[in-house]
Structure 1
Amino acid sequence: MENGRANMKPVTGISQVTCTAPVNIAVIKYWGKRDEQLVLPINPSLSVTLSQDQLCARTTVAASADFKRDRVWLNGQEQSVDAPRLQKCLGEIRRLARKRKHKDERAGDLLGSCVHVCSENNFPTAAGLASSAAGYACLVQSLAKLFHIDGDVSHIARQGSGSACRSMYGGFVEWTMGRLEDGADSVAKQVAPAEHWPELRVLVAVVNAGKKAVGSTEGMQTTVKTSALVKYRAEHVVPSRQEDMRQAILERDFQTFGEITMKDSNQFHATCLDTYPPIFYLNETSKHIIHLVHRYNRHHGKIKAAYTFDAGPNAVLYLLQDDVPEVLALLRHFFPPSSTNNSEREFVQGLPDANRKDLPAELLNSVGLEPSPGSVQYIIHTRAGQGPQVLTDPQQALLDEKGWPKKQN
């Protein structure tokens, strides 16, 4: 992988690029738009970009004068190319290519060509794990490289999926709210690189990998229309909370980082409950994980783990490297894998599993939950990671040398 310009190898008149892009999980949540068409948020947000070694989208884009029309495949299934947000991203990239044609003839070479796009995720799609963020960041990065567009393109990714703009950078990233009517200043900016906090670890507890009942776009629209709490949050809570979180990251202050992360997750889901009719993204297992984290922290007298939940029931736990063995042991004890889960996949995936740790009876009694076998399907152990990457090995492309998917369902 490399961050530089793609290795463009025309094959039978085809130009092709393959990229990967990461998932990001917000610690200050984005929920609600002030402009639906431009995808402008009602408040700023801040997230952690997760390592692509465990969670990423991969996209190959190809352009050729021989293609009859634009076509898109996602996870082996052809999708409608008429989706408004997809068209926005394609249109913006082509607009920039036309604008820069007089400066760089390469940008204009492909303007008359249709594109084929093939993308896949290595994690559940539409399950509240930021699949759209990774997917649109990957699409925009790939198209930008294909059309030789340099510089920040997070404002284009934003128009595909708001949080996708944050997946355009690695480490710790904020999405500025912006003030301009055209949204030109509503972009993503890196607060700190992934290497800034090497001890930080992330455990993603997958509770339900299925598609959520209420999609994020629909949920946001209803919340903005009906919730008084979301308006108060945007105007009176998030601005100072955003600054406090930025400072906690720069100082590697896990106590403040953890407290704000949990409070902001709770408030986000409170706005969902304040929506009319209410939206329920958390399930009983989600609530049990919340109880476990608070009781675990109370037992130790400080914050050693912090939860956050996006628009779904799956828990994302932030913690420091030294505490991974104990927290994993707690999750194994109270949410043990079922025999079915064991036969299908490893319960803990990702980074090398920490050494097993025996839990003292005092700690188990402090948590005091009834074990719930099979309620957590599996756990992904990861860390902060880099932004989008370019793949130069043709074997990693999802399209063949003629621009067609190598795999189709």
Structure 2
Amino acid sequence: MKVATCSAPTNIAVIKYWGKDDVKLNTPMNSSVSVTLHQDQLRTTTSVAGGAEVRSTRLWLNGQEQPINKRVATVLREMQQLARRVHGETEVQTEQHLHIVSTNSFPTAAGLASSAAGYACLVAALAEFYGIGKADEEFPGQLSAIARQGSGSACRSLDGGFVAWQKGERADGQDSIAVQVADELHWPGLCAVVCVVNDAQKDTSSTTGMQTTKATSPLLAYRAKHLVPDRMKTMERAILARDFEAFGALTMQDSNQFHATCLDTTPPIFYLNDVSRQIIRLVHRYNEQAGRVQAAYTFDAGPNAVLFVEEQHVQEVVSLVHHCFPTSSEMTIKSSMLIDRTPSEALLARMEAKPESGKAFKLPHIPDSVKMMYVSRVGGGTAVLSADDALVDTATGGPLPYHSAETEVRGCPLFKPSFWIPEEPALRYLATAVAAVAVTSAILLRK
């Protein structure tokens, strides 16, 4: 039994792609730029297994068997054909059946780019399974072009840091590839706060939404042709200069314009909800009281907000969101850094202070509207995992029992620094352990 296991990150577009130029090739109407998030909070893990015990090709996602859809079949076919060309017809058994087992650490189909991580991870796992590296690519970016055929944004999740998906001009789509603008070490202080407003499946899928917008919105075509090319250059300059004000302002403008094209669609598509709009108001007020852009929102095809902030402002932004959108029970905040949920009185006073012109801002209070938050940094691309991380039984090729992230969080079966355990409960356990050691030491000293 041969098994390969990889992990892949999600990415958040700051210059959005919406609308397909060629549906069959899955090429975009416009180029885009994204930020790859760290895998300690948000990732997909995929195992690919093949051997005599595997008698049909099957796919499991988060413990549930799924049909092999056209996009998965396309990625499988393209990777198998590449493997045959790289290794020769007789050297690799590309016709064998495979078991594919995949898990997400975040909601699927809820606007958190789960398909991007999923298809990037599938390509990475198949590449590892078939022994294909970047040096084996027949043209630069070939693996990203294959991932693109599964999910457009997946091509941006193969690499870490900041990644541009070039629209391309060739009829065969070979130049519609992902290119890294800067790696994950370039801007270590940039963070993302993901606010999960709704973890349910979207009413309008991205694929359906794109088709309808392209067919009915004149704004979309104008945006793609006249606005995005200059925005791509401006965004790349801001990233390379680590200019947060320029980066943040353009991120918000482009998010707003993307959703404007959705509203320009007939019938209009409403991905944002009332909570999303209140988060937008909150961010603009936060920047207003600061006198500059310190936080930037962006929304993909869903109501969930991603708030980009530099590290020194993470505490304020997270505490404000928690204050304005509290949960009945303790909100889960998955973070690799220590977070105080309570905003300072000084911050609240600044937020509600009456400006020189206009009226005072009233902080929203909408309980149980933000379900949880992830606090992440810029991260690396796909990674090859060890045999210990495999999601399949290496003896039978069948999937191992699935444990959701929620089960791991509540049960806390292991104490380790990973996305399975929120930072704050882990710190409480650590504090308890330290206190126990201190008490024991005091008793021993008395003796």
Q: TM-score normalised to the size of structure 1?
A: 0.92
How far did residue 374 of structure 1 move?
1.3
Aligned equivalent of 2:3, options 16, 20, 38: 16
CA distance in 1, matches of 2:165, 2:237: 16
Q: Corresponding residue for 2:168?
A: 178
The one-letter code matched in structure 2 to 1:275 is: T
How far did residue 175 of structure 1 move?
0.2
- 2:128 aligned with 1:134: no
- 2:154 aligned with 1:160: no
Aligned equivalent of 1:147, options 130, 144, 151: 130
Q: Corresponding residue for 2:356?
A: none
Aligned equivalent of 1:215, options 181, 192, 205: 205
1:63·1:110 contact (CA, 8 Å) conserved in 2?
no
Q: Corresponding residue for 2:372?
A: 378
- 2:350 aligned with 1:350: no
- 2:94 aligned with 1:111: yes
CA deviation vs aligned residue, 1:14-61 (integer Å, no higher than 9, x gap): 111000000000000011101000001000000000000000000000
CA distance in 1, matches of 2:343, 2:369: 21
- The count of corresponding residues between Structure 1 and Structure 2 is 386
1:39·1:162 contact (CA, 8 Å) conserved in 2?
yes
Q: Corresponding residue for 2:389?
A: 396
How far did residue 224 of structure 1 move?
0.6
1:326·1:359 contact (CA, 8 Å) conserved in 2?
no
Give the % identical residues: 51
Please show how residues 14-93 of structure 1 align to structure 2 within 5 Å: 14-81=1-68, 83-93=69-79
Aligned equivalent of 1:338, options 328, 333, 337: 328
Which has more radius of gyration?
A: 2
The one-letter code matched in structure 1 to 2:283 is: V
Q: TM-score normalised to the size of structure 2?
A: 0.84
CA deviation vs aligned residue, 1:270-289 (integer Å, no higher than 9, x gap): 00000100000000000000
Q: Corresponding residue for 2:436?
A: none
How far did residue 337 of structure 1 move?
2.1
CA deviation vs aligned residue, 1:217-257 (integer Å, no higher than 9, x gap): 00001011110000000001100001100000000000000
2:80·2:94 contact (CA, 8 Å) conserved in 1?
yes
CA distance in 2, matches of 1:398, 1:84: 23
- 2:374 aligned with 1:405: no
How far did residue 148 of structure 1 move?
1.2
CA distance in 2, matches of 1:354, 1:195: 23
- 2:106 aligned with 1:123: yes
The one-letter code matched in structure 1 to 2:129 is: L
CA distance in 2, matches of 1:93, 1:246: 31
Q: Corresponding residue for 1:10?
A: none
CA distance in 2, matches of 1:209, 1:115: 30
The one-letter code matched in structure 2 to 1:390 is: V
How far did residue 408 of structure 1 move?
5.7
CA distance in 2, matches of 1:19, 1:86: 17
CA deviation vs aligned residue, 1:326-366 (integer Å, no higher than 9, x gap): 11221122112223xx2xxx432122233454132532314
1:337·1:347 contact (CA, 8 Å) conserved in 2?
no
The one-letter code matched in structure 1 to 2:173 is: G
Alpha-carbon spacing, 1:65–1:112, altered in 2? closer, same or farther (3 Å): farther
How far did residue 372 of structure 1 move?
1.2
Instruction: Structure 2: give runs of 5+ residues left out of the alignment.
Output: 135-140, 354-360, 404-447
How far did residue 258 of structure 1 move?
0.2
The one-letter code matched in structure 1 to 2:73 is: Q
CA distance in 2, matches of 1:318, 1:115: 39
The one-letter code matched in structure 1 to 2:388 is: Q
Aligned equivalent of 2:255, options 237, 248, 265: 265
2:323·2:343 contact (CA, 8 Å) conserved in 1?
no
Please show how residues 313-332 of structure 1 align to structure 2 within 5 Å: 313-332=303-322
CA distance in 1, matches of 2:181, 2:37: 15
Instruction: Structure 1: give runs of 5+ residues left out of the alignment.
Output: 1-13
Q: Corresponding residue for 1:227?
A: 217
1:47·1:166 contact (CA, 8 Å) conserved in 2?
yes
